[in-house]
Structure 1
Amino acid sequence: MKNLFLLLASSVLLAACGSETATSENSTETTDTLKETYVVGLDETFAPMSFRDSNGEIVGFDVDLAKEIGAIEGIIFEFQPIDWVMKETELNAGNIDLIWNGYTITAERKEKVAFSDAYLQNSQIIVTLSESTIAKKADLADKVVATQQASATLDAMNADETGIVAKFDGGEPILYPTFNDVFNDLESGRSDAIVVDEVLGRYIMKQKGADKFKVLDEDFGDEEYGVGIRKEDTVLQTAINEGLAELKENGKYDEIYAKWFAE
């Protein structure tokens, strides 16, 4: 009877170990396999990277890029507008799977997320109204300057080594939720100058009438855009990098670029 009890106990223990092994294997398989659908978090006012067209559809350079990579990798990307201030929090909480919206690669952000390979160059330009007497960065002293809150633009301004930001009227820039608000502030005369992403700034100026604005020769630095990904999602990161490389090789990237950035 004692031997029978030991035999039964051993069987239960082996079954439990087998179950644990199977669960571990299944977990690994899930982690190492792409899902069918991923949610992309974005700012729906950030033209031409992503914005709503006249039909209310989310369109843009990043949207087209994501769709093409999705077709290559056999996955679907769904686009979800978010509060841009909360982008990393939304990602790491699992509410979205990607930050894909003119998302600048910075050392600070690398501590919170993983990045895809860089896919677009950008700079932080200084824009005034065409009749403004502001001609160089130093002229921003004692002037009202606006930009977007929680943006790479703001980070670049604060990192500027000339110390000009501390000389702004109020000792800091005025912050708005979107770059649309920033441009409206300039046009209304509340701001003397604004600092914006070049890809967005030139697109908006083209829509509003480029002759209304002046872009200074000096800026707040160059940067690169990448896709933000949770650090543990290495398979997704690899898929996006492979997709980007294929689009650049087959010429589709250039087609998408010409569609959104042609003069």
Structure 2
Amino acid sequence: MTPSTSRRCGAIAAVTSGVLLLSACGAGDGKASLRDQLPEAIRKAGVIRVGASFTAAPMIFRNPQGQPDGLDPDLAAALEKVLDVRFEFQDVGPFANVLPGLLDKKYDIGMSGITDTREREQGVDKNNKQVNDGVDFVDYFMAGFGMAVAKGNPEKISKLDDLCGKSLVVKKGTIHEDLATRQQKACEHLGKPLRILPANADVEAVADLHGGQVDAYLTDYPKALYNVQTVDGGQAFDIAGPQFQPRPYGIAVRKGDSVLRDVLTKAMNSLVRDSTYAGILEKRQLTAGAIQNSVVNGSS
């Protein structure tokens, strides 16, 4: 197969009704040409090592056989066929370990339902202090925040301000924890303190909500919806209000690995163009988060 002629193109990202709208880029890349464009070390190994926290259903979790399952492994399996290399998932434990492990070069990419944020791209904390080199993201999905509450929503929670005077569980090291901390300060000004309970994994957060230790669980909307639909056959929880503040999910890549980043972007776009991507999202009932095209750092 003759390698495609590379073309220069720009990409503009905008969020409209929860959909990432992007300009077309990188069309015409065939399987052989994309594999040839991978970094030499990856071509020789035939493997892309993936760091993930298996605590984020429906994005990634362990199935009853103990194997990685979810949207991210489905997309990785499709990318394997496009790039002709194997994607090898490593469970890094709590989500807070994913990006530090990537920066420490324990694996090649992070793929764990990771929200692409300016802070993560630039390597700064919530106070804008530099804490690391930052990462690049190959964006592939859109998701907002969502809250799961007890069935019937007894506390009548539908928005963040309704959390004042109540209790909330969030996973450590996530943007949900940051959002909850900001809301906690707002509640303090109102004289109605918000109690935040941090958890290491989704299963812990769900158990806290199910056991009545908290009034709500704040997470990404697809994860909240998954728990609402599956725990106790859908009889334990409800969704509190609509999805809000949609942002892109991305495959995290170290800043110095721009070659790998760009090949992954082309490969993801090939899945979007040939409808493989749409089929995977439909299988997982996640079509509401579909993007029209993949870009790098779409949150910027």
Same fold by TM-score greater than 0.5: yes
Letter in 1 for 2:116: I
Letter in 2 for 1:145: L
Which whole-Å CA distance do the structure 1 matches of 2:189 and 2:254 have between them? 35
Letter in 2 for 1:39: R
Letter in 2 for 1:174: L
Which whole-Å CA distance do the structure 1 matches of 2:166 and 2:243 have between them? 16
Bigger mean CA deviation after superposition, 203-212 or 84-93: 203-212
Deviations 1:152-211 (A, max 9, x none): 222333455992487697645210001221111111000011111111111122111334
- The answer to whether the 8 A contact 2:116-2:247 is kept is yes
TM-score by length of 1: 0.80
TM-score by length of 2: 0.71
- The answer to whether the 8 A contact 2:224-2:239 is kept is no
- Is 2:158 aligned against 1:136? yes
Deviations 1:84-106 (A, max 9, x none): 22222211111111110100001
Give the one of 240, 243, 247 matched to 2:264: 240
Deviations 1:202-224 (A, max 9, x none): 11221113343222225552211
After superposition, the Cα gap between the structure-2 partners of 1:67 and 1:248, relative to the gap in structure 1 and judged at 3 Å, is same
Q: SS of 1:227's equivalent?
A: strand
Which whole-Å CA distance do the structure 2 matches of 1:31 and 1:117 have between them? 15
Which position in structure 2 is the counterpart of 1:82? Answer: 92
Bigger mean CA deviation after superposition, 200-209 or 185-194: 200-209
After superposition, the Cα gap between the structure-2 partners of 1:133 and 1:164, relative to the gap in structure 1 and judged at 3 Å, is same
Q: SS of 1:118's equivalent?
A: strand
Letter in 1 for 2:114: Y
Structure having the larger proportion of residues in helix: 1
- The answer to whether the 8 A contact 1:157-1:165 is kept is no
- The answer to whether the 8 A contact 1:42-1:79 is kept is yes
Aligned alpha-carbon RMSD (Å): 2.6
Which position in structure 2 is the counterpart of 1:8? Answer: none
- The answer to whether the 8 A contact 1:92-1:230 is kept is yes
Unaligned runs of 5+ in 2: 1-36, 124-133, 288-300
Aligned length: 234
Which position in structure 2 is the counterpart of 1:33? Answer: 40
Which whole-Å CA distance do the structure 2 matches of 1:206 and 1:46 have between them? 15
Bigger mean CA deviation after superposition, 197-206 or 213-222: 213-222
- Larger CA Rg, structure 1 vs 2: 1
Deviations 1:220-248 (A, max 9, x none): 52211001001111111011101110000
- The answer to whether the 8 A contact 2:168-2:194 is kept is no
- The answer to whether the 8 A contact 2:48-2:109 is kept is yes
Which position in structure 2 is the counterpart of 1:216? Answer: 240
- The answer to whether the 8 A contact 1:142-1:167 is kept is no
